[in-house]
Amino acid sequence: MKIPRIAYAAYGFALFVILVDQLTKAWVISGLELQEIGRVLVLPPIFNLTWVENRGVSFGLFGDGSARWMLSLFAVGVAGLLGWWALRADRRLLITAIGFVMGGAIGNVIDRIRFGYVVDFLDFSGTGVFPWVFNVADSAITIGIVLLVLDSLLTDRAAKVGLAAEKS
């Protein structure tokens, strides 16, 4: 099967997300040694780097420790389905969204397999609005889902406009 050129963009976005995610985690583990010190005040109280071993999914949800392998398999399955979807996608926004979600899922799976948990460290909880500590992969997944919704809305709107034009 020949891979469409546009699908490479999704895989490129995924690779970019994985690299940025893993490099930032390596930095907080080895460079900052955040695991030992626990917290670095960056812009108190708005933004800090805080060590969290997330045994759940995005933002620490569903943190039952026994779910490690189940969550890993699920994320790999999602990434595989997204990779397959990218082969059929034909819109830039959709390709970008797929790449972000796929890269974020793989980035977190790498941690879960290596450590038994996902390394989270971006902490905006001091704002009182967003209490979760998260990472680059979580952000990419969230951005990707927002882009998927936006793509769906724009595609539906374009279809309705096209249908209205045909009726005229």
Mean pLDDT computed over every residue of the chain = 86
pLDDT the model gives residue 165:
55
Among 121, 112, 126, 108, smallest CA distance to 37 is for: 121
pLDDT in tens, 118-128: 999 999 999 98
Q: What is the C-alpha separation between 36 and 42, in angstroms, rounded?
A: 17
Nearest 5°: the CA angle 159, 164, 168 is: 145
Residue 75 has pLDDT above 90, yes or no: no
| Measured distance CA(14)–CA(9) in Å, rounded | 9
Task: Tell me the pLDDT tens digit for each residue of 5-53.
Answer: 888 898 999 999 999 999 999 999 999 999 999 999 999 999 999 999 9
What's the token pair of residue 165? 């034009």
Q: Is pLDDT at 58 greater than 70 in this prediction?
A: no
Quick check: 161 pLDDT over 70? no
Q: Is pLDDT at 168 greater than 60 in this prediction?
A: no
Q: Which amino acid is at 106?
A: I
Quick one: 10 exposed, middle or buried, by C-beta within 10 A (0-12, 13-18, 19+)? buried
- Higher pLDDT, residue 62 or 30: 30
Residues with a known catalytic role: 120, 138
Does 159 score more than 90 pLDDT?
no
The mean per-residue pLDDT over the stretch 117-146 comes to 95
CA angle 31, 33, 37 (to 5 degrees): 145
What is the tens place of the pLDDT at every residue in 91-113?
999 999 999 999 999 999 999 99
E strands present in 22-90: 39-43, 47-54
Per-residue exposure over 37-53, b if at least 16 CB sit within 10 Å of its own CB, e if not: eeeeeeeeeeebbbbbe
